[in-house]
């Protein structure tokens, strides 16, 4: 849940991540694809359109999404469809791939085969490969530099990352494979150095690093300067090395994607909202590191939402992790607890807190306890004679 909240609630603060995403709005520079556009004709390639119709592709979707591919002189509709079919993709899957990633039709068979070989380095079999292509066609077809991608795959394997994790990177964090291999190696070195400087042990460093990368591969898109700046800022705020290491682990590396200015704004607001000292606030942050991550508007909305439900500031300070819940989730959970006669504002927030699974488990226990009949072993039995 934290992963989703962290990504969705801070688009303005993930500076490097935001720049990376903005590039995807424009027509990609597909260096490994060879095509030429006849701009003067200004007419769609009829052969391309006919072949797409043959494979039941919705041309309207392509025109809306990436209409420029229909003007290309050289396309490979049949060739790409055939190799996908050989991998095990059915007609509906092929149509879906071409509709969601029209660039696929300007990918030459040779380029496709090279990309397939790369992905098979981390896929168990062709069935898994075609499934990934169906789900993430853009990650497969819009590759700028296949040699760089290959070197990065091999580097991650040498680090000790499992193939299933690397395949997830290929589909959901493909931009880290666009980094030159030297850049990724440099960032890994910075992370290892930071871990040791913060008091981490050499023996545990590899496990820590692999876990951090598997949770947040986007950390590799940061700069070494940004990482050092964030660490220095937190030290200036009075956090010890062990506490910073704890925050880093709990925030899954997203800590390095925050700007010191935004962290300071969140600290200043939280200190005022909770009317606490620097020391008290530090304890709140250690209990709920997301306080550093959420922007002031998000923190304000969540605190106000809790207050409207009758929850006090004192209760929030006692269980600050409740701030990870959106106002909608809070309202839903309070209604469910109220249905059992449980008044959340009169007690602790422990039963309100946690992931969906944790809440449902606690709710079930409260429900079972309420429905269980009381039995007094010393009470006399009323037996009719």
Give the orientation angle of helix 241-250 with respect to helix 202-215, to 10 degrees. 30
Residue with tokens 């040779």: 110
HEC per residue, 177-239: HCCCHHHHHHHHHHHHHHHHHCCCCHHHHHHHHHHHHHHCHHHHHCCHHHHHHHHHHHHHCCC
State residue 42's pLDDT score.
Answer: 61
**Cα(384)–Cα(65) distance, rounded to whole angstroms?**
81
Instruction: Identify whether the C-beta of residue 98 lies closer than 8 Å to the C-beta of residue 105.
Output: yes
Q: Which residues, other chains included, contact 7 with Cβ-Cβ below 8 Å and sequence gap of 6+?
A: 14
Mean predicted confidence (pLDDT) in 63-76? 93
pLDDT band for position 365 (cuts 50, 70, 90): confident
State residue 165's pLDDT score.
Answer: 96
Q: What is the DSSP letter of 381?
A: P
Instruction: Identify whether the C-beta of residue 311 lies closer than 8 Å to the C-beta of residue 349.
Output: yes
Q: What tens digit of pLDDT does each residue of 43-52 get?
A: 899 999 999 9
| Summary count for the chain: helices (H), strands (E) | 22, 0
Encoded tokens for 309: 């439900």
pLDDT at 347 over 60: yes
Q: Which of 11-25, 171-185, 221-235, 348-362 has the lowest mean pLDDT?
A: 11-25
State residue 8's pLDDT score.
Answer: 42
pLDDT band for position 24 (cuts 50, 70, 90): very low
Instruction: Identify whether the C-beta of residue 33 lies closer than 8 Å to the C-beta of residue 111.
Output: yes
Domains of the chain: 43-142 (no CATH), 144-257 (1.25.70.10), 259-370 (1.25.70.10)
State residue 382's pLDDT score.
Answer: 52
pLDDT at 11 over 70: no
pLDDT at 219 over 80: yes
Residue with tokens 């910073």: 244
Encoded tokens for 49: 């359109």
Q: What tens digit of pLDDT does each residue of 123-168 get?
A: 999 999 999 999 999 999 988 899 999 999 999 999 999 999 999 9
**SS3 breakdown of the chain: % helix, strand, coil, rounded to 5?**
70, 0, 30
């Amino acid at each position: 849940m934290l992963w989703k909240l962290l990504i969705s609630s801070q688009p303005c603060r993930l500076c490097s991540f935001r720049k990376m995403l903005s590039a995807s709005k424009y027509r990609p520079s597909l260096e490994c694809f060879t095509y030429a556009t006849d701009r003067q004709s200004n007419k769609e390639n009829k052969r391309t359109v006919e072949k797409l119709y043959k494979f039941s592709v919705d041309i309207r979707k392509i025109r809306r999404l990436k209409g420029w591919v229909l003007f290309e002189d050289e396309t490979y509709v049949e060739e790409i469809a055939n190799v996908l079919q050989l991998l095990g993709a059915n007609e509906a899957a092929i149509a879906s791939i071409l509709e969601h990633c029209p660039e696929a039709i300007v990918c030459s068979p040779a380029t496709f085969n090279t990309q397939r070989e790369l992905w098979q380095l981390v896929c168990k079999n062709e069935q898994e490969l075609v499934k990934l292509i169906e789900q993430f066609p853009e990650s497969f077809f819009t590759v700028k530099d296949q040699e760089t991608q290959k070197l990065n795959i091999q580097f991650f394997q040498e680090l000790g990352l499992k193939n299933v994790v690397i395949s997830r990177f290929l589909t959901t964090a493909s931009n880290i494979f666009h980094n030159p291999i030297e850049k990724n190696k440099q960032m890994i070195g910075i992370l290892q150095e930071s871990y040791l400087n913060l008091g981490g042990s050499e023996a545990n460093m590899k496990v820590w690093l692999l876990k951090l990368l598997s949770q947040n591969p986007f950390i590799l898109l940061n700069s070494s300067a940004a990482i050092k700046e964030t660490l220095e800022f937190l030290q200036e705020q009075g956090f010890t090395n062990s506490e910073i290491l704890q925050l880093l682990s709990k925030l899954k590396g997203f800590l390095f994607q925050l700007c010191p200015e935004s962290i300071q704004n969140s600290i200043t607001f939280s200190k005022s909202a909770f009317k606490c000292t620097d020391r008290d606030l530090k304890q709140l942050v250690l209990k709920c590191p997301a306080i550093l991550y959420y922007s002031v508007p998000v923190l304000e909305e969540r605190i106000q939402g809790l207050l409207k439900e009758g929850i006090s500031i004192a209760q929030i300070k006692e269980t600050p992790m409740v701030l990870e819940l959106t106002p909608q989730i809070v309202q839903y959970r309070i209604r469910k607890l109220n249905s059992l006669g449980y008044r959340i504002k009169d007690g602790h927030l422990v039963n309100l807190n946690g992931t969906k699974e944790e809440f449902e488990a606690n709710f079930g226990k409260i429900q079972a306890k309420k429905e269980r009949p009381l039995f007094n072993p010393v009470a006399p039995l009323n037996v009719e004679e």
